[in-house]
Amino acid sequence: MKDSISETVANFLKDFKPFSFLNFEELKVIAKKIRVIHLNKNESLFKINDSLHDYFYVVNSGVVHLTVISDAEETLLNKCYIGDVFGLRPFFAKNNYQMTAKANEESMLYAVPIDVFKPFVSQNSEVLNFLLQSFAQNSTNPTDKINQELISDSVQFIEFQNDLSFFQTLNYNRKPLIVEHNQTIREVAIAMSDNLLDNAFVKETDTVIGIVTDADFRLKVATGKHAIHSHIDKIMTYPVITVTENISLAEAQLVMLSHKVHHLCVTLDGTAHTEIKGVITQNDLVEAQANSPGVLLKEIKRSGTAQQLKSIRYALADIIQQAVTKNIPLQHIFNVSGEITLSIIRRSIEIAILELGSPPVPFAFFSIGSQGRKEQLLLTDYDNFLVYHDVDIQKNRIVKDYFSQLTKRINEILEKIGYKHCEYNHNAHNLQWCKSLSEWIKQYENWINTPGEYTNEHCSIFFDFEFVYGDQNIESEITEAIFSIKNKTLFFDYLGNDALRKPAPLNFFKKFNEEDNGTFNIKAKAIDQLVDIGRLLAFHHGLKGVNNSFYRYKELAIKDADNAEIYLNAADVFLQVSRLRTLEGLKNDNIGIFIDIENLSKSDKEKLKESLHVLKDLEEIVKDTFQLTQFS
């Protein structure tokens, strides 16, 4: 690979983990060995049970779907967008691929030779940790107990269901039994029996020095090796492995595995010299796995009532809260939360169909708005629409009546789960948003050809649609119809002017434009404009299948290199303001729109204020691209 090409590849890689942990010279060494692979739409890179490749892969453009076989059907595990890495199995396992990687649209990939990359992993713990988490995100076998070596002999791991296990917190005994080192074996045995516990920590002064378990009593006392009047420190196991209070499921599994222990001592700061706060056992890990995202997906499939789905939605909310408070990258939370949310909606549709009987014609159900963009972390409203195959006029009434009943029942189920009814009535039970494929294609043509005439100011969210259930070919037909319309000038002007009219986040004096009550509307004055401009520019550049605002800006950085820095900044700012909104919503049990600026630290306040300047940069791009002014 010529140096100019390798520098281009290195420049691309440096913005994405794990490559961002390496210096540019290291990236150039790797880039020289990289292969470029082009995949056509629906072309597979590898399939389940294929032999492992000598490469792992990075998405340069397009979208790659990772699928597995679950309950005898193909199930989407993950979607890989620009900068995402996948195909890491050859790093960690010797058996064949456990999933299929297929391009959802025309895509370009970088194939990174594993032998070339391995030395950089062994020298950089951040790269190692990222690869572990990325592999965990796409793993399909959480019960695989075969330990694998990763680069260094000292690093071992288990395949976890997905990356959420790396921030799923644990419930454990927060009132452990603590005994003194000079107490007798008999005294400790009685205390353990009285407290119905199978373990106790041994302490000397203010330091935990060991642990005793039922196994110690069986092997060291019952066999006669030690008398019951001996001190307990004679039979304890030491040293004790200590961890911090906020340890995750996956972290606890890794620690237990690497140290070959079955108990962890939770202390105030994770060392043996501070207050003991609890004990984590292997049983705690087993119970935690029962609430993992992978298990939630299986529970969704088994659910038969809205109440059961509601309990799963509560479990998802707990996972989201744990993830956000542990500062896990928000794009990961979007991905996994989005898939679980779509699964809940999909099961709601199935329950409704079971009640009403099979549909008279094939149809497709779509989520739109924040659900369609997979940006809904808080329990906000639901927006959706339904498309059914065209029928003869004689059957039209029967078909409409069926889907009217179906969508009504779906909405009832969603509201019982906890999702709120959209105030603008953007849901499939509204006859305006439940119609035939030809009618929908005409609807989109009207929106694009005569914007503002046949619509209202909220039509744009219908361009953020995500297929949920039914005939997926309908999605392809709608997408092709939208992108085949040649002249979109009026439509882009309409969307551009709408984006420019959004209220400014900062006033003339560079202070926050606060509400009368002193709060800052982070949705109306930050998030909405980021979403709107991201959608507009993505549509303008022909980006198909990329709905999430973060990934839209990442793709735009590739499509429009002249403004790449602004787009990458916008992607980061979108995550920043989304995190603030989510934290506010979780704290106050609401949808997190209004932020109390005074509760932010001075540093966070200045950081937010500075980051919002990117909106001005984006407005200038919109004005230049579509020749608009703020008064047009």
| Domain spans of the chain, in order of start | 3-159, 178-286, 293-484, 492-626
pLDDT digits (tens, 9 = 90+) for 411-461: 999 999 999 988 888 999 999 999 999 999 999 999 999 887 655 556 889
The upper half-sphere exposure of residue 333, i.e. CA atoms within 13 Å in the direction of its Cβ, equals 25
Torsions phi, psi for 347 (to 5 deg) = -70, -35
pLDDT digits (tens, 9 = 90+) for 236-255: 998 899 988 878 777 787 78
Q: How far is CA 242 from CA 264, 381, 408, in A?
A: 6, 43, 54
Which token pair is 262? 């079955």
pLDDT over threshold 70, residue 543: yes
The least confident of 68-72, 282-286, 360-364, 422-426 is 68-72
pLDDT over threshold 80, residue 29: yes
- Alpha-carbon distance of 150 to 184, in angstroms, equals 44
Nearest to 280 by CA among 241, 319, 233, 318: 241
Residues 6+ apart with CB under 8 A from 78: 65, 66, 86, 137, 138, 335, 339
What value does the mean pLDDT take over residues 103-116?
91
Domain 178-286 sits in CATH at 3.10.580.10
Q: What is the mean pLDDT of the chain?
A: 86
- Alpha-carbon distance of 369 to 461, in angstroms, equals 5
pLDDT over threshold 60, residue 138: no
**What fold characterizes domain 3-159?**
Jelly Rolls (2.60.120)
One-letter amino acid at 67 equals T
Map tokens 């990356």 to a residue.
163
One-letter amino acid at 527 equals I
In this prediction, residue 17 has a pLDDT band, given cuts at 50, 70 and 90, of: confident
Per-residue pLDDT, 166? 54
Residues 6+ apart with CB under 8 A from 326: 167, 169, 246, 248
What value does the mean pLDDT take over residues 361-367?
97
In this prediction, residue 158 has a pLDDT band, given cuts at 50, 70 and 90, of: very low
Q: What is the 3-state secondary structure (H, E, C) of 4-32?
A: HHHHHHHHHHCCCCCHHHCCHHHHHHHHC
Kindly state the DSSP code that residue 151 receives in the 8-state scheme.
Answer: S
Map tokens 């900062």 to a residue.
506
pLDDT over threshold 50, residue 151: no
Domain 293-484 sits in CATH at 3.30.460.10
pLDDT digits (tens, 9 = 90+) for 570-605: 999 999 999 999 999 999 989 999 999 888 888 888
- Alpha-carbon distance of 235 to 452, in angstroms, equals 80
- Alpha-carbon distance of 224 to 217, in angstroms, equals 10
The least confident of 323-337, 469-483, 499-513, 552-566 is 323-337
What value does the mean pLDDT take over residues 40-49?
90
52 CB neighbour count, 10 Å cutoff: 16
- What are 149's strand-pairing partners? 156
The predicted model scores a pTM of 0.64
Per-residue pLDDT, 284? 85
Q: Say if CB 164 and CB 293 are below 8 A apart.
A: yes
Per-residue pLDDT, 579? 93
Q: How far is CA 481 from CA 105, 465, 472, in A?
A: 16, 14, 15
Burial 230-261 (b: 16+ CB within 10 A, else e): ebbbbbbbeebbbbeeebbbbbbbbbbeeeee
pLDDT over threshold 70, residue 31: yes
pLDDT over threshold 60, residue 105: yes
Q: Which residue has the higher pLDDT, 324 or 365?
A: 365
Per-residue pLDDT, 144? 29
